[in-house]
């Protein structure tokens, strides 16, 4: 089965330590992780930000005044998935360390997670939806050679 086509824009804000995050996110890996989570062709922008930008976006769009690991802004699901995925580098790095994962493996998980959100998956609508989304993430990551993130 052929994977969906992907038009990817990968952006990095300027912040201290950005090179570590660039190294964990080679463009070909980011594209591979997202394409494995897509059910249709996609146009996706991935932006890696610092804590200030992450907090500002979360406050403005979700009314939550803290930086979170990934924010998904979905614009269309058909005929093409169109979305922006914003990942907060300091939060991702802290979580990876706490969860004893490599930075790349945690980014892979969060990009798969955000891509599923862009297609309408939602873990906050109920326990059954959360379990279904988690199972799908585990399945996709396993296909990428990445162990169960939970």
Residue of 129, 85, 143 lying closest to 110 (CA atoms)? 85
Q: Give residue-wise pLDDT tens across range 84-102.
A: 999 999 999 999 999 999 9
Round the average pLDDT of the chain to a whole number and report it.
96
> 140 — alpha (psi -120 to 50), left (phi > 0) or beta?
alpha
Residue 125 pLDDT: 85
In the predicted structure, residue 1 carries a pLDDT above the cut 80:
no
Strand partners, 81: 42
Q: How confident is the model at residue 148, as a pLDDT?
A: 95
């Amino acid at each position: 089965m052929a994977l969906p086509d992907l038009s990817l824009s990968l952006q990095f804000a300027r912040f201290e330590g950005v090179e570590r995050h660039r190294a964990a996110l080679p463009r070909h890996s980011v594209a591979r992780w997202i394409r494995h989570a897509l059910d249709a062709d996609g146009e996706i922008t991935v932006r890696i930000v610092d804590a200030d930008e992450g907090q500002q976006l979360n406050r403005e769009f979700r009314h939550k005044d803290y930086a979170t690991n990934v924010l998904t802004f979905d614009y269309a699901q058909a005929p093409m998935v169109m979305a922006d995925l914003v990942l907060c580098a300091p939060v991702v790095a802290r979580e990876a360390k706490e969860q004893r994962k490599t930075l790349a493996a945690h980014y892979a998980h969060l990009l798969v997670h955000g891509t599923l959100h862009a297609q309408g998956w939602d873990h906050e609508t109920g326990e059954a939806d959360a379990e279904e989304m988690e199972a799908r993430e585990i399945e996709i990551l396993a296909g990428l050679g990445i162990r169960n993130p939970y």
